[in-house]
Amino acid sequence: MNYFKIIGGKSLNGSVNIRGAKNSVLELMSATLLTAEPMILHNVPNLSDIQTLIDLLSNFGTSVEWDKENHIMKLHTPVIKSVKAPYEIVKKMRASIYVLGALMGRCGEAKVSSPGGCVIGQRPVNIHLLAMEALGAKIEIHHGYIVGEAPSMNGVRRLQGGIISGLVRHQNGVAITTHGGSVNAIEAAVLAEGETVIEYVSIEPEVDDLINMLNKMGAKISREIKDGVNIVRIQGVEKLHGCEYSVMPDRLEAGTYAVAAAMTSGCIEICNADVSKMENFLDKLKEAGVKITNTDNGFIVDARNVKIKSVNVEVSQYPGFPTDMQSQFMTLMSIADGVSILKETVFENRLMYVPELVRMGADIRILGDNTAKFTGVKKLYGADVMASDLRSGASLVIAGLVAEGETILHRVYHIYRGYENFVENLRSLGANIEVLKEDIE
């Protein structure tokens, strides 16, 4: 197993190219199952999660050619050979659940291993299943598998258009809509018979990326807002055709490098990023005192001679402050001047990085109810720490970049799931970080 050794104290300067959004690509690749024609995706990042999804798609009969150097992927599923998504692959990556909607849409049947809970929360898929049922599917759980069957007419199984209204749930007074549930609902409905209306649908940019690609494939999907409720309306079509599509830039990768610049009092130009999808996060960075200048294809983060100010953060869904940027931004707050209060609202267990930061000298108190108080300290100190998930791993690297002495980060495989060339990029920006091999597993 690899680990990272980071010697803190170098400020990061230079430029970095942002790749396609991991969360988008996973949706788009799953959605290619909806057509028998070849598909070409551009701007596909080289990540281990993408490889996991390739393994899953191969199971269904998809042939995949991946030109990693040029970030181009060709996918072709002329026929679906099996509708089973096995436990061995689904357990590695929760986003495997996206194949449920695509298989139900194309074949009218699916057998997908039910993803369990994960380190950041229970993450049930009950709402995904309700969406399938709203389109006429019979859903049962058999031996750990979600087994779905669309109604059959003259021997052909096809979902029926309907109203999907339960994508939202309320948690401590906050309305949370499901991103993944929205993806599955859209994928399932594009080939359903008749019209589908999906209420309380997620408005995250990656869901728009999926809608845009599906429309390019011949789907008929439109967005509207009715009485304050976000709606997607879909006219089912008989079939979809292949197309070429370029994945949107990863706002979370861009945000992570922005925090790294802020943390190390550096100045980084972030290229190929879309600032229009990052407003809330960038506003918080500005509030902390960091200078942000938009460029033609991204932005410059300048934190030279800046004393970082404390900023309160309440996570919420898009266009609010993203849960996937919470741990990185709060790592910055751990060395800010003053006290910051964090409230996480989307996932119930997303403060796992806190004890690790405390081991590095941060002053953080969990107040309960997913709230924490960060009192900025003058210095962090290198220590052995452990990544518990993708974003916490990136956050601990960022902490190590300013910590005095040596930080050893374990379980770095989490980072390879979502950041292409993370170590190489940080080194090119001036960081002292290397990948080493652990003797003991």
126 is an interface residue for ligand UD1 by CB under 6 A: yes
Nearest distance, CB of residue 66 and ligand UD1, angstroms: 19
Nearest distance, CB of residue 199 and ligand UD1, angstroms: 15
Member of 10, 106, 158, 179 binding ligand UD1 (CB under 6 A): 179
Q: Which residues are catalytic?
A: 118
> Considering only CA atoms, which of 78, 110, 77 is closest in space to residue 96?
110
Structural contact between residues 161 and 77, judged by C-beta atoms closer than 8 angstroms: no
181 is an interface residue for ligand UD1 by CB under 6 A: yes
Contact partners, residue 75, CB within 8 Å, separation at least 6: 29, 32, 38, 39, 40, 41, 57, 62, 63, 64
165-193 core/surface letters (b: 16 or more CB in 10 A; e: else)? ebbbeeeeeeebbbbbbbbbbbbbbbbbb
123 is an interface residue for ligand UD1 by CB under 6 A: yes
Look up residue 35 and give its two tokens: 């057509």
In the range 76-95, which residues lie near ligand UD1 by CB under 6 A?
95
Structural contact between residues 12 and 431, judged by C-beta atoms closer than 8 angstroms: yes
Beta carbon nearer to ligand UD1, 30 or 62: 30
CA–CA gap between residue 432 and residue 142 (Å, rounded): 50
Beta carbon nearer to ligand UD1, 19 or 128: 128
Nearest distance, CB of residue 84 and ligand UD1, angstroms: 21
242 is an interface residue for ligand UD1 by CB under 6 A: no
323 is an interface residue for ligand UD1 by CB under 6 A: yes
Member of 187, 253, 324, 389 binding ligand UD1 (CB under 6 A): 324
In the range 14-33, which residues lie near ligand UD1 by CB under 6 A?
23, 26
Member of 9, 38, 124, 151 binding ligand UD1 (CB under 6 A): 124
178 is an interface residue for ligand UD1 by CB under 6 A: yes
Site string for ligand UD1, 133-172 (x = CB under 6 A): ------------------------------------x---
Nearest distance, CB of residue 343 and ligand UD1, angstroms: 14
The string of DSSP letters for 269-330 reads EEES--GGG-HHHHHHHHHTT-EEEEETTEEEEE-TT--PBP--EEB-STTSB-GGGHHHHH
Q: Which of these segments, 36-44, 115-123, 141-149, 280-288, binds ligand UD1 (CB under 6 A)?
A: 115-123
Ramachandran category for residue 261: left, alpha or beta (phi over 0 → left; psi -120 to 50 → alpha): alpha
**Rounded to 5 degrees, what angle do the CA atoms 116, 314, 316 make?**
50
Q: Which of these segments, 10-18, 121-129, 134-142, 393-401, binds ligand UD1 (CB under 6 A)?
A: 121-129
Q: Pairing relation of β-strands 339-343 and 371-375?
A: antiparallel
Using CB under 6 A, list all residues that contact ligand UD1.
23, 26, 95, 121-128, 169, 176, 178-181, 204, 206, 323-324, 346-347
